[in-house]
Amino acid sequence: MMMTGQTHGFVLWFTGLSGSGKSTLTNALAPLLRERGLRVEVLDGDEVRTHLSKGLGFSREDRDTNILRIAYVAKLLARNGVAVITAAISPYRATRERAREQITAEGVPFLEVHLAASLETCEARDVKGLYAEARAGRRPGFTGIDDPYEPPEAPELRLDTGVQSVEESLAALIRLLEGRGLLPAASEVGA
C-alpha cells in the first residue's frame, strides 16, 4: 500500500476556534493519508506549546512567535517530503499570512483550511470548560471571548464543522488534496 517516491510535501494548515474540530479532523485525516502512502506528521498547537514553545504566554507577541515556530518546523518537514497537518487556532490573519509566505518561499504548497464552526457550537463542544472559565474571567485573553479570532479571507477550503459531519469534512479535504495533485487517487495506491 505504500506509495514510493513521494518527493514533495505540503502543509495543510487548520485554523479555527477552540472546539472547531481541528484535532478531531487531524486525527481522522492523518491515517487516511498514510494509507495512501504519504509520510505524515502532525503539529498540534497544544503539543507544540508543551514541547517547542514552553514558556510562551498568550500575548499577541507570544502567540505570533508560537505560530511562526510551527510554520518553521512545518516548512522543514514539508520540504523533505512530509505531508504536514497543523492544528492550531492561529487567531491572527497577518500571522497566518506570514506563515504562508515563510512556507511557500521554499516552494512548498500551503493550503489553509478554515474550520468555521460558530462560537456557540464550539462552546457547546467544550468538555474542558475553557469557554466557561474565560466567560467567568478566569482565563483572560481567550480567543473568541476577549481576544479576537480573525477568520481567513480566502482559505483554500472552508468547512462548517458545526454543520458538516467528520466524514463530509474528510471527503472535502481528500478532494482538495487530490485536486491539487498532492494525494494520489485511491485507485493509484499500490498500482
SS (H, E, C) the chain: CCCCCCCCCEEEEEECCCCCCHHHHHHHHHHHHHHCCCCEEEEEHHHHHHHCCCCCCCCHHHHHHHHHHHHHHHHHHHCCCCEEEEECCCCCHHHHHHHHHHHHCCCCCEEEEEECCCHHHHHHHCCCCHHHHHHCCCCCCCECCCECCCCCCCCCEEECCCCCCHHHHHHHHHHHHHHCCCCCCHHHCCC
Active site residue 90: yes
Q: What are the distances in angstroms from CA 106 to CA 8, 68, 89, 111, 115?
A: 11, 15, 24, 14, 26
Pick the catalytic residue from 90, 118, 165, 169.
90
- Residues marked as binding for ATP? 16-23
Cell 500575548 locates to 59
- Residues marked as binding? 16-23
Catalytic residues, by residue number, are 90
